[in-house]
Amino acid sequence: MILPVNNIKHNINFSAGSNEKEKKSFNSDYDHDTLLPSTTLTNIRIGMDKLTNAFTLYPAKGLKGSKNANFYEFLTMGTVPYIIGSLGLMAVFNFANKFFSPFDKVQASKIGQKMALGVVLYGVFKSLSKQLISRPVNMLTGVDTDQPYAKVNYELPDHINDTDITSIEYHKVFESVEFPRWDLLYGDETKGEKRNFRYDKIAKKLNMGDNLNDSDQETKPRIKEIIVKSNLAKSISSYLWAATGVALAFQQPWEEYFKVMTFKFWKPKEFLKSLKIFGRSFVNSAKNLYKGDGRGIAKHAGKILLGVAALSSIFGVINTVAGVKKSPKSNSKVINPNEKHVVS
Amino acid sequence: MTSTLIQNYILSPKQTVNQNLQPNQVIIKNPEKPKPNFDIQKELDNRTFIKPLEGKGRLLSGNIFNAPAIMFKDMVYDAKALKHAIKGEANDHELGKLNDFGLFLGGLAIASYLFTRKQTPMTKGMEFVGLASFLGAMSIWPKIAIQLPAYLIHGVNVQKQYEDSFGRKKPFYQDPQFLPWDLYSDKEIDKMGDRLGVPRDITNRREFIQEKMKKIGIQNNTLWMLTAGFATPIMSGLICNLVEPHLNKYLDNRTNKAADKILTNLDNYSQKYKNNALEQELTKLLDANQNKPLTKELEESITSVMTRYMDAVTAESFKKDLKEAAFGKPTYKIEDKNVKEILSNLNEVFKKVPGADEEFLKAVVPDEKGLISALQENGTFGKNIESVDFSTVTDAVKNLVVKNAKAYNESHPDKQKDIRYIRKLIMNNMGEESHSNPVRIVLAKATSKVLDSNIIGKLKKVVKFIDNFNMKQFALDEYALKKVGAAPETVIANYWNDVSKDLMHTLGFTSEEIIKTRSDRSLMGQVLREKIEYVVSDKDRYRKVMEKLVKKIAEINSKIKTSDLSTPLLNKTSSNSAYDNIVDSLFDSFANNLRKPDIGFERTARAISGVDKNDIVGTAKQLQKSYVRDRLLGVKSSFYRIINTMDFYRRIASDANSIPALKGKYIELQEELIELCKRITLDGHSSDYATKFYMMRNPEPTMEYGNVEVKNGKVVNKYFGKTQELTDIPGDKYFYQDAMRLMYEGDMHSETMAALKESSIKDEVIRYRDLVLEKLGGEKYFAKPRHLIRAENKTGSDIKFLLTGIAPDELIFKTGQQLYNSKKWLKIFGGFGAALLGVTVLAQFFIGKMKAPERTGKK
């Protein structure tokens, strides 16, 4: 593998390097691509970092047309329209209401508030529902499809005095199915870790046996399959769950919450009451969505939507796991010398 | 799959593996001798060594003509991607595509769910329009706000797409660190350089142009990301606003045609409702209870099923018919178990007697044998009796109890009991429905009538009639609902909204006027009066407005043909409308079936279609007809009132002094009359007509005869409004009569008649004016009994209310508020969207700035 040029290890510095503050801050970051723990805290930290950069650093670079702007930054900036668009949607359905006559205002606000809540629940359900795929898959196969790592990028200096030539990007090890970062999963033998300990774990979970000589090579094709299938499951099920979130927001019980809704946490009594009623409205709305009202399809639409979303997650996990959990003997990926094989 | 570079190397002719090689066969090949004077640098320079495959990537250019083909190709690609992903064989590009598919699927799920929650076709349809507009806005915004301006200003297509060697479609500027410049020829780059104003005499011109294009690409991508969030929801909303009226028009036509089909094809259409639900449910109930006692509960269950879809009046008649003609008179039989129950009840009841103890109860409550023999004696035990015989039974019980009580009092002088109270306890609640009389409560349950095959046969016959009737009535209800129902998006509701909005436009209401007056009906009314007075002040202006107004209002008769649905009050024709004929036929036929001798449900038949053709009051048939007539009359009256109002204003503006109702009166009185009528025509409600108008007038008007002065459609008052001491004059019946004549009597203005001449509503408008005079002018008000302009009539208040319709100022007020809401939304978000578009386009002028290298001076 071609390793990235590391200016720290080789003491390459484009400046005098006398700035201690700069040095300290850089050293506190990563000096090479680093596997990060897949914890909620890390994910929140990464999310906040990406969000901050998406609204500040990357647009600044992009608007300048920086030669260092890259695809990662472009993709990360995708959060901007997502968040602003959500707020925009809320505004479209609510902002003008205050100018309407009292009766019209009440009627318009009823729909507007549900729309706004729908936007929020869309995002929440979409985000959380991915866990319905990745957690069971991780549990059943040992493959953490959300495993993050920090990538150290070396940029071109903007000018002769530009010493800050590194940028940290947060990726997932299995972000690319064609180029997963296999290298990051190897153990550090200098720290006493077995080189293939992560692959061994996966191989065991996949019923491929213990103490394989080359568990990495054995598991890689299966891991790839898991990544592809779990990605598909996430893509489909997360949007269906998001739709369920919107449907939930459109239930009548929320109207009780809208009457007492407040975000003024500095008024604890009102805020706690609002939270309590939020919980109650959530439960009642969920029941309402399931039970439905009206006749025919209208009565069962909520059930159907919930069912489809749940089934998409269940089938997603089954499709991901079922094919790969088989004995090594039945592995069709074993090379047949009589067949033509191509390394791609 | 396309070969990769290494594959090409492996399979290059010189090194192709012999596919027919046997597993154990070893081929020894002599290595080729090195060429003499082999120079690696020369070979590399001449590119005769191993070289990569020719790239198959290409720039894509789409246009409106190949768009469908591209779309189809993309769909095929997505389908293949899905197949690959399910098998776990997809690549990154394919997985990316599937995310878009998921987004679409989720959107479709949201739209579909909300579709089921909405009640009307329009709101249902708008759910999908909303989805399409949102997805459309996501894709249109970068094209119109980024791609097009960038192309026009810089000549660079920043949304250019290319297809790589593997057939994967990608945006050219997606990854600035990997731009496939080789896809652009030198000529194309040069041309773009010229367009970008890059001097021709610089070194490495191509590289510089590429750098500039890359910079433009990066900056535009960033601009896209920063603006799309604001633009997409706003654009989506604006697209919905644009689509809504067209969709509304389409759905209105569709609904109207669908409704027309119901009426012309009622027999077939009503099959939709043929489920024989009542028959099935009743049969189940009857079969389960065949030859079982016909208890009150069973009767109620049967009645409940059979009257499920009947109105309350018909259901009440039906219940009585069921009792008399189907169930027959109930009979009861007293047996041992009933006697025991009576005695048990007596025990409970007599506990209420003050000082009652076990001894008293034992003494006063008859023994079983004694009671049975007493009932045998009066012939009520073990035989079928009717409810009229209940008193014989209670008398027998009472006599025994009283006899026992007397005996008890005699034997217990210290524990005397009140005989009258004891008698009352048995005799109270004499009615058949008694629930507390200790004897009757038992008798009522001791029914001996059974649900026999005769009753079952009759009930099954009746329920078949009901099912068949319901089937067609439901279809008729659907027709009525689609056409004139009191619901959104019916034909009449759409017509109402359409005419109301058009009226605001025709009368020339401006946005500013709507904004200023939207929250006050009287202010809006004043503006309306100004508008009308302005319109009527000029002949041509009036003609144009009236023609437009009449044309718009007359659309009702093409949407709802009078031959299909009529308002008999407005249409003089003697022939019934198609709807009325169908209703007559259906209801009469149902009633006749129920009247048949073997059924005998006469009461119900009367409730449905009356005794004869003239008996219409309160019948179900009349209700079915009057609902649609009333809805139609209310709407037509509201708009005909506007025509009459405009006409009245025009008559005043053009030649007030020739109007008979004003002739020969004091000027001040004429001014008062005109002012009252101008107000009443604009804001009068049916209550104003009913109370014969109220106006603060001068009780001592100036006695000056002459003509009122009218200028620019307005009366220049000489006296009116100049007197301080004003009062209502309730005894002046002539003032009321003159006002009514002024508004509704006599010929309409010739210009109004000209506009109405060819219109389908001409006769109806004329008839409308007559009706107001007849129905409202003939309405007697107890406080002003002589304020009549026509003979007193007994017309119901509903018709008077419908004839008055909505007051024009109220109509404009409500429509104004709706228009304000739409305009306000449009102003806020349309303005924001336009500003965003402007800023985004303007930003292009600050994009792609680069310092050009030094010029060499050589071309």
Q: What is the CA radius of gyration of chain B?
A: 45
Closest CA to B232 of B822, B826, B837: B837
One-letter amino acid of A53? N
Specify the pLDDT at position B443: 87
Q: Using an 8 Å CB-CB cutoff, list chain A residues near B4.
A: 342, 344
Q: What is the ipTM of this complex?
A: 0.87
Q: Using an 8 Å CB-CB cutoff, list chain A residues near B211.
A: 67
Q: Do A178 and B177 touch (CB under 8 A)?
A: no
Question: A115 to chain B, minimum CA–CA distance in Å?
Answer: 11
Which residue among A85, A108, A343 places its CB closest to the CB of B229? A85
> Do B129 and B138 form a contact (C-beta atoms < 8 A)?
no
Q: Using an 8 Å CB-CB cutoff, list chain B residues near A344.
A: 4, 6-7
Closest CA to B840 of B30, B125, B149: B149
Which residue among A71, A100, A239 places its CB closest to the CB of B105? A239
Q: Do B216 and A65 touch (CB under 8 A)?
A: yes
pTM comes to 0.80
Q: Do B174 and A74 touch (CB under 8 A)?
A: yes
Q: Using an 8 Å CB-CB cutoff, list chain B residues near A67.
A: 176, 211, 214
Give CA torsion, residues B710, B713, B716, B717, to 10 deg: 100
Beta partners for residue B368, in sequence order: none
Q: Do B6 and A226 touch (CB under 8 A)?
A: no
Q: What is the DSSP-derived secondary structure letter of residue B32?
A: P
- pLDDT value at B65 more than 90: no
Question: B510 to chain A, minimum CA–CA distance in Å?
Answer: 18
Query: What is the mean predicted confidence (pLDDT) over B149-171?
Result: 93
Q: Do A77 and B222 touch (CB under 8 A)?
A: yes
> What is d(CA B584, CA B587) in angstroms, rounded to the nearest whole number?
5
DSSP code per residue over B164-180: -TTS-EEETTS-TT---
Closest CA to B708 of B767, B659, B749, B751: B659
Specify the pLDDT at position B66: 80
Q: What is the pLDDT of residues B286-329, one digit of tens each?
A: 999 998 888 888 999 999 999 999 999 999 999 999 998 888 88
Specify the pLDDT at position B49: 56
Which pLDDT band holds residue B435 (cuts at 50, 70, 90)? low
Whether chain B has a CB inside 8 Å of the CB on A77: the answer is yes
Residue A221 CB neighbours (<10 A): 14
> What is d(CA B848, CA A57) in angstroms, rounded to the nearest whole number?
19
Rounded to the nearest 5°, which phi and psi values hold at B327?
-75, -30
Closest CA to B306 of B339, B327, B279, B330: B279
Beta partners for residue B714, in sequence order: B711
Q: Where are the beta strands (DSSP E) in B227-319?
A: none
Q: Do B98 and A99 touch (CB under 8 A)?
A: no
Residue for token pair 């503050």 = A21
Helix (H, G, I), strand (E, B) or coil at B835: helix
Beta partners for residue B169, in sequence order: B163
Query: What is the mean predicted confidence (pLDDT) over B95-111?
Result: 94
> What is d(CA B299, CA B329) in angstroms, rounded to the nearest whole number?
12
β-strands B161-163, B169-171 pairing: antiparallel
Beta partners for residue B781, in sequence order: B784
Q: Do B106 and A82 touch (CB under 8 A)?
A: no
Helix (H, G, I), strand (E, B) or coil at B831: helix
Specify the pLDDT at position B11: 47
The lowest-confidence range among B101-110, B393-402, B611-620 is B611-620
What residue ranges do the domains of chain A occupy? Answer: 23-330
Specify the pLDDT at position B418: 85
B445: tokens are: 């349950």
Helix (H, G, I), strand (E, B) or coil at A338: coil
DSSP code per residue over B517-534: HTT-HHHHHHHHHHHHHH
Q: Write out the H or E segment, with its range, that includes residue B385.
A: strand B384-386
> What is d(CA A205, CA A220) in angstroms, rounded to the nearest whole number?
13
Question: A1 to chain B, minimum CA–CA distance in Å?
Answer: 17
- pLDDT value at B408 more than 50: yes
Of the residues A79, A84, A315, the best mutation for testing chain B's interface (the one with the most B CB atoms within 10 Å of its CB) is A84
Specify the pLDDT at position A14: 44
Specify the pLDDT at position A27: 40
Specify the pLDDT at position A12: 44
One-letter amino acid of A37? P
What residue ranges do the domains of chain B occupy? Answer: 71-258, 331-445, 488-553+619-810
Query: What is the mean predicted confidence (pLDDT) over B731-751?
Result: 94
Specify the pLDDT at position A16: 39
Q: What is the DSSP-derived secondary structure letter of residue B701?
A: -
- pLDDT value at B434 more than 60: no
Count of CB pairs separated by less than 8 Å, A with B: 195
Q: Using an 8 Å CB-CB cutoff, list chain A residues near B173.
A: none
Question: B233 to chain A, minimum CA–CA distance in Å?
Answer: 5
One-letter amino acid of B189? I
Give CA separation, B406 vs B364, B414, B425, in Å. Answer: 9, 13, 15
Whether chain B has a CB inside 8 Å of the CB on A305: the answer is yes
| Neighbouring C-alpha atoms within 13 Å toward the C-beta of A46 | 21
Helix (H, G, I), strand (E, B) or coil at B332: strand
One-letter amino acid of B512? E
> Do B815 and B501 form a contact (C-beta atoms < 8 A)?
yes
Nearest CA in chain A to B850: A65
Q: What is the DSSP-derived secondary structure letter of residue A98?
A: G
One-letter amino acid of B242? L
Q: Write out the H or E segment, with its range, that includes residue B329.
A: none
One-letter amino acid of B116? T
Of the residues A51, A68, A74, the best mutation for testing chain B's interface (the one with the most B CB atoms within 10 Å of its CB) is A74
> What is d(CA B254, CA B258) in angstroms, rounded to the nearest whole number?
6
> Do B550 and B755 form a contact (C-beta atoms < 8 A)?
yes
Which residue among B98, B109, B216 places its CB closest to the CB of A243? B109
Handedness of CA A17, A23, A26, A27 (dihedral sign): positive
Q: Do B821 and A104 touch (CB under 8 A)?
A: yes
Nearest CA in chain A to B171: A71
Q: Using an 8 Å CB-CB cutoff, list chain A residues near B106.
A: 126, 238-240, 242-243
- pLDDT value at B1 more than 60: no
Beta partners for residue B386, in sequence order: B331
Q: Do B105 and A246 touch (CB under 8 A)?
A: no
Q: Using an 8 Å CB-CB cutoff, list chain A residues near B223.
A: 62-63
Of the residues B7, B26, B218, the best mutation for testing chain A's interface (the one with the most A CB atoms within 10 Å of its CB) is B218
Q: Using an 8 Å CB-CB cutoff, list chain A residues near B824.
A: 96, 99-100
Q: What is the CA radius of gyration of chain A?
A: 25
B569: tokens are: 């009050």
Beta partners for residue A256, in sequence order: none
Scan residues 89-108 of A and list those with Cβ closer than 8 Å to B: 89, 91-92, 95-96, 99-101, 104, 108
Whether chain B has a CB inside 8 Å of the CB on A65: the answer is yes
Ranges of residues in chain A with a pLDDT under 70 are 1-29, 326-344
**Residue B742, phi-psi category: left (phi > 0), alpha (psi -120 to 50), beta (remainder):** alpha
Query: What is the mean predicted confidence (pLDDT) over B187-202?
Result: 92
- pLDDT value at B239 more than 80: yes
Question: A308 to chain B, minimum CA–CA distance in Å?
Answer: 10
Contacts for B479 with CB less than 8 Å, ≥ 6 apart:
B259, B262, B263, B266, B579
Residue for token pair 């409106």 = B64
Q: Do B102 and A239 touch (CB under 8 A)?
A: yes
> Do A173 and A181 form a contact (C-beta atoms < 8 A)?
yes
Scan residues 210-269 of A and list those with Cβ closer than 8 Å to B: 224-226, 228-229, 231-232, 235-236, 238-240, 242-244, 246-247, 250
Which pLDDT band holds residue B415 (cuts at 50, 70, 90)? confident
Contacts for B296 with CB less than 8 Å, ≥ 6 apart:
B444, B445, B447
Q: Do B113 and A63 touch (CB under 8 A)?
A: no
Instruction: Round to the nearest angstrom and report the end-to-end CA distance of chain B.
Output: 45
Nearest CA in chain B to A96: B825
One-letter amino acid of A296? G
Specify the pLDDT at position A24: 42
Nearest CA in chain B to A237: B102
Specify the pLDDT at position B821: 92
> Do B219 and A63 form a contact (C-beta atoms < 8 A)?
yes
Q: Using an 8 Å CB-CB cutoff, list chain A residues near B112.
A: 301
Give CA separation, B171 vs A289, B65, B102, B122, B180, in Å. Answer: 41, 21, 20, 38, 10
- pLDDT value at B494 more than 70: yes
Q: What is the DSSP-derived secondary structure letter of residue B848?
A: S
Of the residues A71, A93, A114, A231, the best mutation for testing chain B's interface (the one with the most B CB atoms within 10 Å of its CB) is A231
Which pLDDT band holds residue B16 (cuts at 50, 70, 90)? very low
Specify the pLDDT at position B36: 64
Long-range Cβ pairs for the range A300-303 (8 Å, 24+)? A301/A247, A301/B112, A301/B113, A301/B116, A301/B117, A302/A247, A302/B113
Q: Where are the beta strands (DSSP E) in A114-227?
A: 148-154, 166-172
- pLDDT value at B776 more than 70: yes
> What is d(CA B303, CA B248) in angstroms, rounded to the nearest whole number?
44
Position with higher pLDDT, B48 vs B640: B640
Mean pLDDT of chain B: 89
Q: What is the pLDDT of residues B691-702, one digit of tens each?
A: 999 999 999 999
Specify the pLDDT at position A15: 41
Give CA separation, B616 vs B580, B581, B607, in Å. Answer: 13, 14, 9
Contacts for B408 with CB less than 8 Å, ≥ 6 apart:
B360, B363, B364, B415, B417
| Neighbouring C-alpha atoms within 13 Å toward the C-beta of B800 | 21
Which residue among A88, A231, A340 places its CB closest to the CB of B229? A88
Question: A305 to chain B, minimum CA–CA distance in Å?
Answer: 7
Which residue among A69, A243, A343 places its CB closest to the CB of B106? A243
> What is d(CA B190, CA B205) in angstroms, rounded to the nearest whole number?
8
Alpha-helix runs per DSSP H in B596-709: 602-609, 620-655, 667-683, 686-690
Q: Do A84 and B230 touch (CB under 8 A)?
A: yes
Which pLDDT band holds residue B203 (cuts at 50, 70, 90)? confident
Q: How many residues does chain B have?
A: 859
Which residue among B86, B225, B230 places its CB closest to the CB of A77? B225
Nearest CA in chain A to B87: A229
> What is d(CA B534, CA B510) in angstroms, rounded to the nearest whole number?
14
